[in-house]
Structure 1
Amino acid sequence: MTEQEARAWMDAQFDVSRETWERLEAYVAMLLAEADEQNLIAESTKAHIWARHIVDSAQLLTHAAWVDGEWMDLGSGAGLPGIVVACLRPDPLVMVESRRKRVAFLEQVISALGLSNARVHGGRVEQVPATPAAVISARAYAPLRKLLQSALHLSDKNTLWVLPKGRNAENELEAARPAWQGVFHVEPSVTDRESAIIIARGVRPAGKRKHRP
């Protein structure tokens, strides 16, 4: 996907308003500037930032368009997908990030873009108060099995998990199946044919099998 194709995809999927375009453009500029100060995105992706990061984040919304309520993004780092989702979706969004410099950057972006629906929780995922989110996302946060374990207290049976997993999606899902139950499926990424997104609902630890007498 080229940068031109990425922008066209955004416009076609979300009918992006001028104000939202301006916010996304401003975020891209801030992200590129801050990337020179801290390792927010890979150097090799800077020239393809709309395809590799903006669309890659925005596509998660296409799997959760029908869900209302708070969105929680784990290990937000540079704000991917959190900031992008907050620009495109009016519902409340919480970004969970433990690294201080990245928390400061996210708070700066929220203020600069006027994202009143977004906030940052500075700390570890395990320390976030147990409140079920409508949607949970995590991009490059942790392997699936560890991710589910650390964030289970932030979900209930209705929570939708939208988890971009790159080219290891199927392997991570297979590794997690013995320990976790729920409705899982894998969707292809629009930005990379070999990458995928794990979608899940009703996630819970696998129960012990009952032995019949």
Structure 2
Amino acid sequence: MFADRLSEAAKRPVSRETSERVEDFARLLVEENQRQNLISRASEADLLDRHILDGAQLLRYDEREDARWIDIGTGPGLPGLVIALLHKGPVELIEPRPLRTAFLERMVTQFELGDRVAVHQGKAAAVNMPGDVITARAVASLTKFLDLSHHLSTEKTRWVLPKGRKALAELEEAKRFWQADFRVKKSLTDPDARIIIVERPKRKGRR
């Protein structure tokens, strides 16, 4: 059952009803992909592994059930909307492109998430709401991403960032500019990918 796979990825219970909602979102995403380019057509056949489980696994790295997640550059809600469907706490989805934010707003309405999920059209710099967990896929290098997202953090914020084959190179570059607690985990869905976890980052040279 897909619910079992989601539960294993997220390291939290996932009901059959929740799993069906996640699968409904995947179906609607593919439908919308015919109207606007949200994901590569080649990845549609592998959507559940490449995009859905890939996002669900991020939840295993923060156990706080009421944590506020912020997904910057969420696109069609990857991983932000996947997290919102599996997570009990609030989720902020930040996306600059109008067509994509319109899709996200429809999904929030479709799945009745409006009481705890907000869509922000624009860039992260325009948002001023601290989060407990900050994430993003393919938005910027680790160094640049910490720069553009740091204003959304508190001392307790944790960054959970899926990265591709250049993950370790990005980490080494970031260490030149940032002092932080860095951890690296292997991705469950891609043997070449990593998840970088960052806590208490401080820009070097700043007081």
What interval of TM-score do these two structures reach, taking the shorter chain for normalisation? over 0.9
CA deviation string 1:51-87 (max 9, x = no partner): 0000000000001124642111100001011111011
2:148 — aligned with what? 150
Q: Aligned equivalents of 1:37 and 1:80: distance in 2?
A: 17
Question: What is the 5 A alignment of 1:90-169?
Answer: 90-115=88-113, 116-129=115-128, 131-169=129-167
Instruction: Give TM-score scaled by structure 2 length.
Output: 0.93
Q: In structure 1, what residue type is equivalent to 2:121? A: G
Q: Aligned equivalents of 2:81 and 2:177: distance in 1?
A: 32
CA deviation string 1:22-79 (max 9, x = no partner): 2112101110001111111111111011100000000000011246421111000010
Q: In structure 2, what residue type is equivalent to 1:120? A: V
Instruction: Give TM-score scaled by structure 1 length.
Output: 0.90
Question: In the alignment, is the contact (CA less than 8 A) between 2:33 and 2:39 conserved in 1?
Answer: yes
Structure 2 counterpart SS, 1:27 = helix
1:36 — aligned with what? 34
Give unmatched runs, 5+ long, in structure 1.
none
Q: Aligned equivalents of 1:90 and 1:98: distance in 2?
A: 25
1:192 — aligned with what? 190
Question: In the alignment, is the contact (CA less than 8 A) between 2:66 and 2:88 conserved in 1?
Answer: no
Q: Aligned equivalents of 1:163 and 1:98: distance in 2?
A: 19
Question: In the alignment, is the contact (CA less than 8 A) between 1:67 and 1:135 conserved in 2?
Answer: no
Q: Aligned equivalents of 2:81 and 2:169: distance in 1?
A: 28
Q: CA RMSD in A?
A: 1.7
Q: In structure 1, what residue type is equivalent to 2:120? A: H
What's the offset of the Cα at 1:11?
A: 3.8
Question: In the alignment, is the contact (CA less than 8 A) between 2:177 and 2:203 conserved in 1?
Answer: yes
Question: In the alignment, is the contact (CA less than 8 A) between 1:68 and 1:134 conserved in 2?
Answer: no
Q: Which deviates more, 97-106 or 142-151?
A: 142-151
1:50 — aligned with what? 48
| Higher radius of gyration, 1 or 2 | 1
Give unmatched runs, 5+ long, in structure 2.
none
